[in-house]
Amino acid sequence: MKELLAAFAMAALIATTGCDKGTSGGPGKDKENKDSTVKQLKDKVGQAEDTFSLDVPNSTTLKQGENKAVKITIKRGKNFAEDVALKFEGMPEGVTADPASPTIKKGDDEANVTLKATDAAAVGTFTPKVIGHPGKGKDSTNEMKITVNKK
């Protein structure tokens, strides 16, 4: 009965805090967790062992010709201590990331990237994908919203 109540409490916590919009990656992503329901719910609230996920800014607004610094952070589960190479897919036309392929080193928890919009960058709201590739295991992905306005 205690486990059932704890499971309901964890489910309520998840429902009220929401879920990350990205996916986890790393070698632990393929492992099935055969523990109790309570343990499985705990892993969903925190970062599961031997996995990682990326946090990106919810929304970034640029004007044509403007540069803006953003941080991409990593949540590391227990036993995940690898470098993670980042790449960006689906960037708006005329918007680039500098560096184009940053790496979050195993002892670090973030990468600083400058988004650069040319004077002719496409105007609108876009959702490019940030992909984190570890040395071993599955990639993690997350989407960030970029709005480009006219000068």
- Supply the pLDDT for residue 26: 72
Q: How confident is the model at residue 79 (pLDDT cuts 50, 70, 90)?
A: very high
Helix (H, G, I), strand (E, B) or coil at 14: helix
pLDDT at site 43:
47
| Per-residue confidence (pLDDT) for residue 73, from 0 to 100 | 98
pLDDT at 33: 41
Q: State pLDDT tens for residues 103-112.
A: 999 999 999 9
Per CATH, the homologous superfamily of domain 2-149 is Immunoglobulins (2.60.40.10)
Give the three-class secondary structure for 65.
Answer: coil
pLDDT digits (tens, 9 = 90+) for 110-125: 999 999 999 999 999 9
pLDDT tens track for 53-75: 999 999 999 999 999 999 999 99
Q: What are the boundaries of each domain within the chain?
A: 2-149
Average pLDDT of span 25-50: 58
Spatial CA neighbour of 61 closest among 4, 129, 146, 151: 146
